[in-house]
């Protein structure tokens, strides 16, 4: 890692000393983000006899891009850390928080076809299934190969990936068990613009390493599950609608199958400086009383913080194989000036599948407030507060934690995204 840092610094120095290189265009941008959080019941119910958490996270990212007529190169390196996680006088970063976020090359075969390979963000549509997860300081990437086609208002991506922890001479067992870490992945995404409407079709095949009796030393094939569906946006008069529907099927494990669905519909109306929105989402779940087939829909690699409340009670590192969710939500976004706005959003949560003991399916109501102020051209401040009014049934999906404690979350984030260097001539 030290060698990589040194090489990167040298490369940056050479770049900044050069006005042009190989008749291409260079750009260097920065992404510096600091976020303070106060957590008192964030992502799960606040327990008795506990103290709230407070901390500051920071992301420092440099993005380098090079383009010419036939080639695009992109590299992004970042440091993600918590203020104070490295002692002040330590000669090196003891937490090894420096990492390579993206590194890809795209070869333009002709005006319509291209090939893109390397570490990259896969983000499509509303980011429900595949998204960049930019809210998380580290973001989300895939090591993948894509074949891309674009002509007029039609775009097609066909991609695939094959993951291993290291090079080896024998077997291909993949023992990394992160959040839905796949051994192999293939997908295609087709998007067509039609007047003011758009339609996307997605098919995603993900293969997960199986192990005998959960013993990582005994690999036992690969379980493949599929996700297929569509996303669309369309206007009706002054209203704007977006809708999606996906179905998951295939093997969950060697001896169990998955059959799950997701459906959403959202409508919005904007008048003057105020936007009103109303919507719903259904994600199927598995009964707590037991079911021979897994019926819990998993959003997989999307930007899940964007959905189902900002307090991340659902599908953000949790609720993966639970009772699903029916989310009724409404929002108002008030623009005070062209530099500031206030978002007010409410969610009404209901379990999609049956809870134990035939409990009431109502899980709770969440209120989210986010104020955004643009300070300078490349500087923005966001301040948020969220409150979860949990029901007694919420305890049944949150490990029995008490539901009647105060559950709230407050945060403030400063984002700085300047362009540091650009050889493109206007």
Structure confidence by residue, pLDDT tens digits, 355-386: 998 999 999 999 999 999 999 999 999 999 99
Full set of structural domains in the chain with CATH:
2-422 (2.40.160.100)
The C-alpha atoms of residue 155 and residue 397 are separated, in whole angstroms, by 41
How much is the pLDDT for 301?
A: 96
Report percent pLDDT > 90 for the chain.
76
State both tokens at 307. Answer: 């959905």
How much is the pLDDT for 251?
A: 83
How much is the pLDDT for 11?
A: 61
How much is the pLDDT for 14?
A: 54
Whole-model pTM over 0.85:
yes
What is the pLDDT averaged over residues 15-44? Answer: 83
Structure confidence by residue, pLDDT tens digits, 123-159: 999 999 999 999 999 999 999 999 999 999 999 999 9
Using an 8 Å Cβ cutoff, are 232 and 267 in contact? no
Residue with the bigger pLDDT between 158 and 211: it is: 158
Instruction: For residue 3, name the pLDDT band (cuts at 50, 70, 90).
Output: very low
Report percent pLDDT > 70 for the chain.
92
**Does the pLDDT of residue 341 top 80, yes or no?**
yes
Residue with the bigger pLDDT between 175 and 399: it is: 399
**Does the pLDDT of residue 8 top 70, yes or no?**
no
The C-alpha atoms of residue 313 and residue 43 are separated, in whole angstroms, by 4
Structure confidence by residue, pLDDT tens digits, 387-419: 999 999 999 999 999 999 999 999 999 999 999
What is the pLDDT averaged over residues 106-114? Answer: 97
How much is the pLDDT for 260?
A: 97
Name the phi and psi angles at 93, rounded to 5.
-75, 100
What is the pLDDT averaged over residues 329-346? Answer: 97
**Does the pLDDT of residue 196 top 70, yes or no?**
yes
Q: Which of 10-19, 123-132, 289-298 has the highest mean pLDDT?
A: 123-132
**Does the pLDDT of residue 9 top 80, yes or no?**
no
**What is the sign, positive or negative, of the torsion defined by CA atoms of 78, 62, 104, 413?**
positive
The C-alpha atoms of residue 312 and residue 115 are separated, in whole angstroms, by 36
Helices of type H across 309-356: none
């Amino acid at each position: 890692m030290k060698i990589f840092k040194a090489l990167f610094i040298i490369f940056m120095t050479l770049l900044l000393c050069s006005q042009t290189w190989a008749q291409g265009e260079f750009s260097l941008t920065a992404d510096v983000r600091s976020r303070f959080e106060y957590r008192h019941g964030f992502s799960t119910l606040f327990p008795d006899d506990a103290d709230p958490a407070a901390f500051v996270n920071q992301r420092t990212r440099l993005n380098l891009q090079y383009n010419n007529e036939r080639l695009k190169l992109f590299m992004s390196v970042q440091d993600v850390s918590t203020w104070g996680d490295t002692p002040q006088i330590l000669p090196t970063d003891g937490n090894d928080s420096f990492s390579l976020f993206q590194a890809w090359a795209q070869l333009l075969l002709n005006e319509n076809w291209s090939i893109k390979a390397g570490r990259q963000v896969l983000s499509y549509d509303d980011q429900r299934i595949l998204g960049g997860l930019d809210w998380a300081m580290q973001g989300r990437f895939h090591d993948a190969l894509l074949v891309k086609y674009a002509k007029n208002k039609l775009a097609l991506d066909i991609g695939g990936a094959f993951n291993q922890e290291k090079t080896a001479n024998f077997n291909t067992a993949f023992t990394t068990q992160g959040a839905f870490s796949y051994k192999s992945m293939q997908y295609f995404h087709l998007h067509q613009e039609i007047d003011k409407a758009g339609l996307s079709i997605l098919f995603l095949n993900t293969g997960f390493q199986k192990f005998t009796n959960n013993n990582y030393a005994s690999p036992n094939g690969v379980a493949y599950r599929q996700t297929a569906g569509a996303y669309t946006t369309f206007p009706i008069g002054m209203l704007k609608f977006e809708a999606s529907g996906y179905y998951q099927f295939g093997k969950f494990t060697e001896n169990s199958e998955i059959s799950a669905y997701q459906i959403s519909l959202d409508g919005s109306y904007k008048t003057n400086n105020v936007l009103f929105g109303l919507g719903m989402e259904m994600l199927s779940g598995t009964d707590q009383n037991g079911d021979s087939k897994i019926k819990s829909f998993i959003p997989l690699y999307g930007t899940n913080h964007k959905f189902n409340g900002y307090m991340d009670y659902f599908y953000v590192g949790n609720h993966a194989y639970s009772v699903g969710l029916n989310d009724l939500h409404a929002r108002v976004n008030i623009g005070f000036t062209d530099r500031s706005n206030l978002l007010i959003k409410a969610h009404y949560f209901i379990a999609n599948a049956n809870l134990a003991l035939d409990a009431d399916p109502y899980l709770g109501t969440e209120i989210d407030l986010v104020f955004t102020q643009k300070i300078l051209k490349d500087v923005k401040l966001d301040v948020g507060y969220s409150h979860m009014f949990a029901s007694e049934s919420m305890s049944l999906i949150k490990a029995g934690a008490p539901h009647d404690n105060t559950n709230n979350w407050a945060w403030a984030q400063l984002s700085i995204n300047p362009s540091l260097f650009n050889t493109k001539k206007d």
